[in-house]
Chain A
Amino acid sequence: MFVQTFPITRGDFDTAGEASSKIKNMLKKLGISPRIVREVAITAYEMELNLVIHSLGGELKLEVRPKSIELTAKDNGPGIEDIKLALKEGYSTASESVRNMGFGAGMGLPNVVRHCHNFHIESELNKGTLIIAGYSLDEKED
C-alpha cells in the first residue's frame, strides 16, 4: 500500500493546488488509468481548496491499494454547521475576498461527490470535518 499525507495550511492560496498536483503525478507514475487519475486529481483539488478556504488547517491523505484509492481530508475545525446545505450546489460560506479570486461558487463539495465512487462526510462544530472519497480500481481500464 502507498500512503502519503500532505499538510494543508489555512489561507495559503500561493501553494494551494500543489498537493493535488503531486497526487496526480504519483498516480500517473503508479500506472493508474488516466480516467481515474483525472477524477482523483479533481477531488483532491476541491478537498485541498476546501481546507485552505474553510478550515483552520488540516491534512490531505492519499492511500493507494491494489484495488482501491482513498482520499481523506481531515481538519482541525471549525466544523460544518449544516452538512446538507454544504453539499448543495451553489451554497457557499466563502468570504468576499475568496469569491473575488473565483472560489466560493458552492461547487467544491458537489464536485467531490460527482468525481468519486464512494463519499463519506462527518463533521462536528468546533472540532472538525472528515471527508473520505473512495475509488474502486476493479473496473476495466479504458
Chain B
Amino acid sequence: MLLTDLAKLINANVITCPSSPREVACAYTCDLLSWVMAKGKPGLAWVTVQTHMNVIAIASLHDIACIICPEGIQMEAPCVEKAEQEGIAVLFSEKTAYEICGLLYKAGVPPV
C-alpha cells in the first residue's frame, strides 16, 4: 500500500512526506522503543503515542516509512523538522491506535 493511500484510509493529516512515493510494507504499534528497535523493518508504518526525538532516531535507523501519531497527539516542531530531514513521513490521526491498526489490517497491511 502506498503511503498516500494509507493516509486516506485512516483519515490522517500528512505532516511530512518524502517527495517520492513510498510503499508501506507492514505495520506495528508499540510505545516501548527497544521493542521497536527489535521488531522494526524498512517500510514499517509505526503507530505510537511517543513523540520525542528518539522516535525519529529509531525510525531513521530502521528506514521506517511513517510514524503515525494517534488520538490527535501532536509532535513538536523540532521533531517534525528532523523527520523531514530524514525523509520519514509523520501522520496525525484522530483515530485510536486500535482503530488505525484495525483499518490497516483489514486493508491487507501485514504485521511485522
Contacts and interface: CB of A to CB of B under 8 A. Distances in A.
Are A and B genuine complex partners?
yes
B37 A16 contact: no
Given A42-B37, A114-B38, A17 B52 contact: no
B34 A20 contact: no
Interface range on chain A (Cβ under 8 Å from partner): 20 to 34
A102 B50 contact: yes
Interface stretch (A61-69, A75-83, A103-111): A103-111
Interface in A22-77: 24, 38, 41-42, 45-46, 49
Interface residues of B, number: 19
A142 to B, nearest CB: 14
Contacts, number: 67
Minimum-distance CB pairs A-B, first 5: A17-B57, A107-B34, A102-B33, A105-B32, A105-B34
Interface of B: 31-35, 37-38, 48, 50, 52-58, 60-62
13 contacts: A16-B53, A16-B54, A17-B53, A17-B54, A17-B56, A20-B61, A21-B61, A42-B37, A45-B58, A45-B61, A102-B32, A102-B54, A110-B38
Interface of A: 13-14, 16-18, 20-21, 24, 38, 41-42, 45-46, 49, 101-103, 105-108, 110-111, 114
